Amino acid sequence: MRECDGLIESLVYYIQGTTADHQPDDKMPFGVAYIIVKKANGLPSIRNMLHVSSASVRKTAVSLLRNLSRNTSLQNEIAREVLPDLVAILPDSIPTTDVANETTASACYALYNLTQSNSQNARLLLNSDGIPKIMNISTSESKAGRAASVLLYSLWSHADLHSAYKKANFKKTDFINNRTIRAYNSLKD
């Protein structure tokens, strides 16, 4: 079974690399993303890889989802299919290993991509009970902590969800604070 895991990891790693943004004007990664999501119906297979025991396969699958989620025309389908699974694999506390830190950061950035321009996807994140996990992760100065902080900051931009956040006992300072502002501004640098 280890040989199979290695082969699967290699294939997913290759596809993940193919979908990475090479140049800002490079359309090829979006074309590959479209084929994976629409033509090959690849999301169920990727979703299954999120729950395997191999941390490196999970990390590569999450990185692939992060790359796929950059394609705005696919974001709603990706959110519908895998957003709850991305929330499920988020740790309840700060990741302690490098692989877990990388995986968590990629999951947060995938969630950021899926929610930044779509309040329905942000509502799905809220309803999936992901915000408490993201808040816990954001307290770290690690890569995962910064990614979680960026995600929290962007979630507050959905003014139509402010009442839902308050109803869920969250307040503005859970989303907008010195840590999240610093992380969000670092994206622009």
Mean pLDDT in residue range 5-34: 59
What domains does the chain contain, in order, with CATH numbers? 2-188 (1.25.10.10)
pLDDT at 142 over 50: yes
pLDDT tens for residues 24-58? Answer: 445 556 777 777 788 878 889 899 999 999 898 89
pTM over 0.85: yes
User: For residue 133, what are its two tokens?
Assistant: 């996990």
d(CA 127, CA 150): 19
The helix-helix angle for 178-188 and 143-155 (nearest 10°) equals 100
Q: What is the pLDDT of residue 33?
A: 76
Instruction: Report DSSP state, residue 39.
Output: I
